[in-house]
Amino acid sequence: MNLQEYLKRRQRLIDRALQLWISGKDEFPPQLHEAMHYSLFAGGKRLRPILALAAAETVGGRAADVLPLACSLELIHTYSLIHDDLPSMDNDDLRRGKPTCHRIFGEGLAVLAGDALLTEAFHIMTRPDLMKGVSPSRRLRAISHVARAAGSLGMIGGQVMDIVSQGEKVDSPLLEYIHSHKTGALIAASVYAGAIVGGGSPRECQALKMYGEKLGLAFQVIDDLLDVQGEVSKLGKAVHKNGIKGKATYPAVFGIAESRRQAEVLVEQALACLKSFNERANPLREIAKFILKRTN
Amino acid sequence: MNLQEYLKRRQRLIDRALQLWISGKDEFPPQLHEAMHYSLFAGGKRLRPILALAAAETVGGRAADVLPLACSLELIHTYSLIHDDLPSMDNDDLRRGKPTCHRIFGEGLAVLAGDALLTEAFHIMTRPDLMKGVSPSRRLRAISHVARAAGSLGMIGGQVMDIVSQGEKVDSPLLEYIHSHKTGALIAASVYAGAIVGGGSPRECQALKMYGEKLGLAFQVIDDLLDVQGEVSKLGKAVHKNGIKGKATYPAVFGIAESRRQAEVLVEQALACLKSFNERANPLREIAKFILKRTN
């Protein structure tokens, strides 16, 4: 399969669905909806929704049934970026090559646009006119898992420890906590919830969840490496900012070569989780391999 | 019925359930969970959960089935207060007689504690071990309605217009938009979602939704009047702050006497929505009458 073409097709599918399902740019209040759309359509890779779709298809589900859930994962991801960039947190001016939400709309509106995207995620997942092909109890299970992964014991927990440990010496267990929660939890939940909604058996869902956990951690290790080695023009955000801010990163704790090796091991482990699946899991396999090659 | 005793019993029930179901204060990361608990147990009146329970009982539902949903409404309300109080919004130092969340834990952690409470609300509403007596499709419908009411077309929309119209002349349609969205939407959703989960018929749910809308608006008009006429010691927050901040309020647009009259009319309209219900609606009736008498 041609992964780049697959990813592009999926990005277009997801972008069209997002445009269709989230509150329009012309809804009242205009400032709020402009801010939401500004961050949501700022060139995200749509990794989480693509993973949810690919996981559903791996277990024989239909993309159309999973699309609302997939979109919701991108809304949650986008809200987390808006809030992470705030002056009271990472204080970033640039995201995906563009000024951050609060630089354009002000801090108050950026907080509220993030809140609204998070809330809208749960609205789309529960709308009575969507996901009609999925049983209500499977839907509830998937939403519950996403909520847990995005909450205080998941993504938000990781972000808190990332902030409070800035400038402090971080040991490897805490580093793994931060990375597996801040980035890994939502990536793993995307795969797992996609598999649930796609109709996967408990055993299939469990294997895919483990794939997602390995993949999510590998993704963040590579992110750290790109921050050290990457170029502003490719990343669309400042480089070396982790070092400047005294952030806990894999290269800082393990060095560049060992971090790279760990990412490779994680991707191997992720691929091993897919052993029992047939060729329908090929997109998940290709995505895992691609993680190691990405430059932005 | 003795309303004060009823309210106290319900507050205790809700507080116990909140303690049981939200992530414990000793969960990791400690700072985050402390901040969440600090704001959640700062002496809230639990109006929204009490309304959800009362609405469910009005249509013959059981309190135990509705309790998780009821708790979630308090989590959403609490998150909205934490974010509203932030320096980039209302910049308030005092809430319910105590320092606001960001004054104690810092701005970044206050944003994240709010995010976590909002996310936890949707987790509790979808947990597979709770609300087992309610059909999954009714649950989804109720959650969907709560999400819509709390989102960009509901509560957050109202908060945005409240902020951006500060210091500007506000006409009465915009004033009603702000009040009915910022406060009214979640109060109305509490009643409506409680009625759905309680097993109400479409007609019953619709009547209770209208009750909730009138009640929510009356509640906010009285809030404005208390800000003008109240005492710090009773309110537990600064008074006259709306005037100082140039906020849109009913007394500022209509005067004190006319605002009072409008609140009374709204309560009458709310009571009229309950006409077709029997004595099981008495708590809702008493709460509506009490709104006019409250001093904090």
Specify the CATH number for the domain of residue A239: 1.10.600.10
B296 in a structural domain: no
Helix, strand or coil for residue A61? Answer: coil
State the ipTM, two decimals.
0.96
Query: Would you say residue A262 lies in a domain?
Result: yes
Confidence of residue A231 (pLDDT cuts 50, 70, 90): low
pLDDT band at B234 (very low <50, low <70, confident <90, very high): low
Q: B52 in a domain, yes or no?
A: yes
pLDDT digits (tens, 9 = 90+) for B122-172: 999 999 999 999 999 999 999 999 999 999 999 999 999 999 998 888 899
Closest chain A residue to B114, measured at CA: A115
Residues 6+ apart with CB under 8 A from B95: B39, B42, B81, B85, B101, B236, B237
Residue A59 lies in a domain: yes
Mean pLDDT of B69-97: 96
A116 CB neighbours in chain B (<8 A) are 151-152, 156
Q: Report yes or no on B29 lying in a domain.
A: yes
- If one counts every other C-beta atom within 10 angstroms of the C-beta of residue B232, the result is 12
Interface of B with A in 209-238 (CB under 8 A): none
SS3 (DSSP) at A85: coil
Domain that holds residue A277: 3-291
The rounded distance, in Å, linking the Cα atoms of B82 and B77 is 9
Band of pLDDT at residue B242, cut at 50, 70 and 90: confident
Nearest-CA distance A5 → chain B (Å): 35
Question: Does the pLDDT at position A240 exceed 80?
Answer: no
Counting the structural domains of chain B, the total is 1
C-alpha distances out from residue A181 to A156, A189, B91, B138, Å: 8, 11, 31, 32
In degrees and rounded to multiples of 5, residue A265 shows phi and psi of -60, -45
- % of residues, chain B, pLDDT over 70: 95
**What percentage of chain A reaches a pLDDT higher than 70?**
95
- Summarised one tens digit per residue, pLDDT across range A45-83 is 999 999 999 999 999 999 999 999 999 999 999 999 999
Q: Which residues contact B109 (CB under 8 A, 6 or more apart)?
A: A160, A163, A164, B31, B32, B35, B101, B102
Of A119, A159, A161, nearest to B118 by CB-CB distance is A119
Write the residue in A23, A31, A140 that is nearest to B140 by C-beta: A140
Residues of A within 8 A of B118 (CB-CB) are: 115, 118-119
**For residues A261 and A279, what is the distance between their CA atoms, to the nearest angstrom?**
27
- Residue B127 and residue A151 in contact, taking contact as beta carbons nearer than 8 Å: no
- Range with the lowest mean pLDDT among A129-133, A292-296, B280-284? A292-296
Instruction: Report if residue A20 sits inside a domain.
Output: yes
Q: Give per-residue pLDDT as tens, B2-23.
A: 999 999 999 999 999 999 999 9
A235 pLDDT tier (thresholds 50, 70, 90): low
Residue A232 has pLDDT above 60, yes or no: no
Task: Tell me the residues of chain B between 1 and 20 that have a Cβ less than 8 Å away from chain A.
Answer: none
CB of A27 within 8 Å of a chain B CB? The answer is: yes
Cβ-defined contact of A153 to B114 (cutoff 8 Å): no
The answer as to whether A148 is a domain residue is yes
A91 touches chain B (CB under 8 A): no
B160 close contact with A: CB closer than 8 A: yes
**Which of B106, B107, B126 is closest, CB to CB, to A147?**
B126
Question: Is A296 part of any domain?
Answer: no
Token code pair at residue B180: 């009915």
